[in-house]
Amino acid sequence: MRRLGLDASFAAPSFQKQAEHAICAICLDYLEDPQEVGCEARHVFCGPCIETVLQERKPCPSCRGHFSKTQRAPALLRNLIEEVQWKCLNFASNCAFTGTKKELEKHIDSECPEQETACPFEGSPVRFNAKAAHLRSCPKFPVPCPNQGCAMIIARAEVSHHVENACLEGMVTCTVSGCGSRMKRKLVDQHDDENMKKHFKLLHEKVVDMETNDNLELTVRFPNFEAISAGTQKRTLDSPPFVFQDMRFCLWLWPKGDLNSSVGQAALYMVKKDAYDRTLTFTVKPKNCGEVRQTFRRWASTAGGDNQTCVPLMCSSRLHERLRGGLWSST
């Protein structure tokens, strides 16, 4: 039994009169399971409505007549009630449907374009005529994970979160910095197990790197730059020494190029002036000249020898251009 809140005003044209016989005088709604009471006029009410009256031994609600039992309304009357045609509950919104109560239920449940229904996934009201469109974009609509092999069904709005953070079939990059391996999320543990040594080494290097992280910004001036770069001879210019990580360095510059460089190219070296017992990797960024990464390898002083060692930084004609001012900023 379903209550639609029908009253005579919902009767389709030409059914107004008949509709009056289809309304229960107790609940003022469509007569459900019509039962005839034993009063003289044999009034008819919904089964559930009259049941309580009967149990409380009250008189007929319509005529105050006494009755002690009810019985199913005659088939003729039941047919009359069932055949009444009703307008759609949304007739005020211009739905032109008419039909029996049974047909109206079906219409409301599955056809009426004006009927509001709840989105089955969100519970929010949606009109029938907008439901299909809504479901195509409903954020809670369940969709399969796009990753092959993952059988998860997820709310549409959760897909990207699932893929990025949870999907076992999703590709992830090893979180150990420097490892760079890509694998499915479900294989991360296995990867970690298989790469313990490598990871440990990378993490250790990272720690060392962080401990010794240092930046030095300085301007290096080459004495006699103009004079020497104006000459034709390949000669070297030594910058004054500077200290970085407790060690002394300087720069060597061949404005006209060194033995290994081509004509018109300047060459620049970084020179380590002391003996050292560790590897030093550094990045040099000459002003406006890009950057160079170089490494001084562990190198012990030889007894009585020259402790200086150098690594090339740059050798280019562009460098020569940049050096015209003779002014350097190096970090």
List of residues contacting Zn ion (CB under 5 A): 24, 26-27, 39, 41, 43, 46, 49, 60, 62-63, 65, 88, 90, 95, 97, 112, 119, 121-122, 138, 145, 147, 150, 152, 167, 174, 176, 179, 181, 195
Whichever of 31 and 220 has its CB closer to Zn ion, that residue is 31
Closest CB 50 distance from Zn ion, rounded Å: 8
Whichever of 154 and 268 has its CB closer to Zn ion, that residue is 154
Q: Are 247 and 274 in contact (CB under 8 A)?
A: yes
Closest CB 237 distance from Zn ion, rounded Å: 46
Whichever of 58 and 287 has its CB closer to Zn ion, that residue is 58
Question: What pairs with residue 117 in β-bridges?
Answer: 126
Whichever of 104 and 323 has its CB closer to Zn ion, that residue is 104
Closest CB 304 distance from Zn ion, rounded Å: 47
Whichever of 161 and 298 has its CB closer to Zn ion, that residue is 161
Q: Are 67 and 57 in contact (CB under 8 A)?
A: no
247-254 and 237-238 strand pairing: antiparallel
What are the two backbone dihedrals, phi and then psi, of residue 37, each rounded to the nearest 5 degrees?
A: -95, 165
Whichever of 19 and 49 has its CB closer to Zn ion, that residue is 49
What are the two backbone dihedrals, phi and then psi, of residue 8, each rounded to the nearest 5 degrees?
A: -60, -25
Closest CB 97 distance from Zn ion, rounded Å: 4
- C-alpha span between 221 and 236 (Å, rounded): 14
Closest CB 145 distance from Zn ion, rounded Å: 3
Closest CB 95 distance from Zn ion, rounded Å: 3
